[in-house]
């Protein structure tokens, strides 16, 4: 082991279960680099939606740590992903962001690749130059119910197919493949990627989300017995709404049961359909739908929300009228990109079927509130006075995230 790996290994061994991680996990460059290799270069990570790439030739890039990956729709309408590195002298092929077009042409010396990654043309080469030796380096890519995942590892975690087959029945009724990207925000948070994830995995801090709490039940993460006295009225409303929603889901044949395997497998996940407060339709001030067109062909707007949480870098909320996807991408030890995407029915027209501000309001406000909390946490854990503190029972998913994460580090250290 290298000296850096020794330090990481010691820190993993010294971690006290049920407590936040030690400072270097959030601040140290060696720990960050190891996170990228042990987690982001090994696991399936959520990077895009199929609606980003509706037509052949559509492409997007995703950047994290030292990597840049091209995800594109090839000429046969399949998904493909490649390292965004030219096989000649290594220049970036595409600029960050979305584009469309035919072949991929490197801006440096014009090596030209087809959408399947093959090198079509390299100007002025010797007669014996073998183009077939210089295809773009492929990256595994998979669409799951309209969500796009990539895996950089040569051999990706083997449990992804099984997880996909278990979450697809929940997602497919919303027909996310047939949606349009109504909006996207890119928020660079002043915190380590794990603080962004940990913050997402609890509602202990949800008093800081007045807009979200109009419809999102704040009892999230509490068991019946733990619900604090001040949340009892909301919990009573939740129980009534929950009973009604279960009847709705059963009537419509929508799977709704909680599956929670956050820590016990490489592709850790949690999925559940759950009630929302007030009108129960959407994340809006009164809980009514923000968009007149509904996703899929579902016959009622009052569907609560489908929530999906995945390790290491994503969460999703699907309501009757739209879906929101969240992708967490580590930039540096203390900077993380949160990419949020709002999906609506493909024919929903802005200003006619929905008002953009109403659609974006709740999760934009929630993301900004969370970013401030993450920045404060980063400031604290980066200082000499920080020592790991205990999780409350309602923070059990934070513990699950950390347990999952540490298991990945241990695996990598044993390679
Ligand atoms: O997205 C979520 O599910 C978490 C939990 C509650 C609020 N928060 C943003
Ligand atoms: Fe791409 Fe030379 S580096 S063509
Ligand atoms: Fe939050």
pLDDT on residue 220: 85
Count of CB atoms situated within 10 Å of the CB of 238 = 21
Instruction: Delimit the CATH 3.90.380.10 region(s) of the chain.
Output: 160-413
Q: In what order do the strands lie in the sheet with 104-105?
A: 104-105, 112-113, 119-121
* Residues in the ligand 2 pocket, defined by CB under 6 Å: 86, 88-91, 106, 108-111
Q: Which residues of the chain have pLDDT under 70?
A: none
Mutate to test the pocket of ligand 1, among 198, 202, 208, 216 (most ligand atoms within 8 A of CB): 216
How buried is 278 (Cβ within 10 angstroms: 0-12 exposed, 13-18 middle, 19+ buried)? middle
What's the pLDDT score for residue 216? 97
Taking the C-alpha atoms of residue 229 and residue 368, their distance in angstroms, rounded to an integer, is 28
The boundaries of every CATH 2.102.10.10 domain in the chain are 45-143
Q: Are 273 and 242 in contact (CB under 8 A)?
A: no
pLDDT tens sequence across 346-358 = 999 999 999 999 9
Tens of pLDDT, residue by residue over 81-103, are: 999 999 999 999 999 999 999 99
Q: Whose CA is closest to atom 9 on ligand 1?
A: 200
Closest ligand 1 atom, residue 200 Cα:
4
Gap from CA of 181 to ligand 1 centroid (Å): 21
Answer yes or no: are the C-beta atoms of 116 and 77 closer than 8 Å: no
Residue 17 pLDDT: 97
The C-alpha atoms of residue 29 and residue 158 are separated, in whole angstroms, by 30
Which atom, in ligand 2's list, is nearest to the CA of 109? 4
Question: Cα separation of 387 and 389, whole Å?
Answer: 6
State the pLDDT at residue 223: 85
Name the one residue in this structure whose structure tokens are 């962004």: 196
Looking from the CA of residue 307, the nearest atom of ligand 1 is 3
**398 with 204: CB under 8 angstroms?**
no
ipTM over 0.90: yes
For residue 76, the SS3 value is: coil
Helix ranges restricted to H, 211-307: 232-252
**What is the token pair recorded at 340?**
């949020």
pTM higher than 0.95, yes or no?
A: yes
Question: Where would I find the H helices in 172-313?
Answer: 193-200, 232-252
Ligand 2: residue whose CA is nearest its atom 2: 109
Q: Is the CB of 315 under 6 A from ligand 1?
A: yes
3-state SS track over 306-338? EEEEECCCEEEEECCCCEEEEEEEEEECCEEEE
Distance CA 147, CA 317 (A): 12
pLDDT of residue 297: 82
Report helix, strand or coil for 219: coil
For residue 86, the ligand 2 atom closest to its alpha carbon is 1
| Cβ–ligand 1 contact at 134 (below 6 Å) | no
Which class for 99: exposed (0-12), middle (13-18), buried (19 or more C-beta within 10 A)?
middle
Mutation test residue for ligand 1: of 220, 222, 401, the one with most atoms within 8 Å of CB: 220
Identify which of 28, 360, 16, 369 has the alpha carbon closest to the alpha carbon of residue 194.
28
Tell me which CATH code domain 45-143 carries.
Answer: 2.102.10.10
Mutate to test the pocket of ligand 1, among 258, 315, 398 (most ligand atoms within 8 A of CB): 315
Pick the CATH number of 160-413 from 3.40.50.150, 3.20.20.70, 3.90.380.10, 3.30.505.10: 3.90.380.10
pLDDT given for residue 226 in this prediction: 86
What distance in angstroms lies between residue 195's CA and the mean position of ligand 3's atoms? Answer: 11
């Amino acid at each position: 082991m290298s000296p850096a790996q020794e330090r990481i290994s010691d820190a993993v061994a010294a971690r006290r279960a049920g407590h936040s991680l030690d400072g270097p996990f959030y601040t140290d460059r060696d720990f960050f680099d190891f996170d990228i290799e042990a987690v982001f270069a090994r696991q399936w990570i959520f990077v895009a939606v199929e609606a980003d790439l509706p037509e052949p030739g559509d492409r997007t890039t995703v950047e994290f740590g030292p990597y840049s990956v091209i995800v594109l729709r090839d000429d046969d309408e399949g998904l493909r992903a490649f390292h965004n590195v030219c096989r000649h002298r290594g220049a970036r092929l595409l600029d960050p962001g979305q584009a469309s077009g035919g072949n991929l042409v490197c801006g440096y010396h014009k090596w030209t690749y087809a959408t399947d990654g093959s090198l079509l043309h390299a100007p002025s080469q010797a007669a014996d130059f073998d183009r077939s030796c210089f295809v773009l380096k492929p990256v595994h890519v998979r669409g799951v119910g309209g969500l796009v995942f990539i895996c950089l590892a040569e051999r990706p975690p083997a449990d992804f197919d099984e997880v996909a087959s278990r979450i697809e029945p929940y997602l497919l009724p919303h027909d996310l493949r047939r949606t349009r990207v109504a909006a996207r925000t890119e928020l660079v948070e002043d915190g380590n990627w794990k603080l962004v994830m940990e913050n997402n995995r609890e509602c202990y801090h949800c008093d800081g989300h007045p807009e979200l709490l109009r419809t999102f039940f704040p009892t999230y993460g509490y068991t019946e017995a733990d619900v604090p006295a001040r949340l009892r009225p909301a919990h009573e409303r939740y129980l009534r709404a929950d009973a009604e929603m279960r009847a709705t889901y059963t009537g419509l044949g929508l799977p709704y049961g909680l599956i929670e395997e956050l820590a016990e497998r490489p592709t850790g996940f949690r999925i559940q359909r759950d009630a929302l407060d007030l009108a129960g339709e959407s994340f809006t001030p009164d809980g009514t739908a923000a968009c007149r067109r509904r996703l899929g062909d579902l016959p009622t707007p009052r569907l609560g929300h489908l929530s999906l949480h995945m390790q290491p870098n994503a969460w999703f909320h699907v309501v009757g009228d739209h879906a929101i996807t969240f992708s967490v991408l580590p930039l540096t030890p203390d900077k993380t990109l949160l990419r949020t995407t709002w999906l609506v029915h493909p024919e929903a027209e802005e200003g006619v079927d929905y008002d953009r501000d109403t659609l974006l309001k709740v999760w934009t406000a929630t993301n900004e509130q969370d970013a401030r909390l993450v920045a404060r946490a980063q400031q604290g854990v980066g200082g000499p006075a920080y020592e790991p503190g205990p999780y409350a029972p309602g923070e059990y998913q934070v513990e699950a995230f950390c347990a999952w994460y540490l298991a990945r580090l241990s695996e990598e250290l044993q390679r």
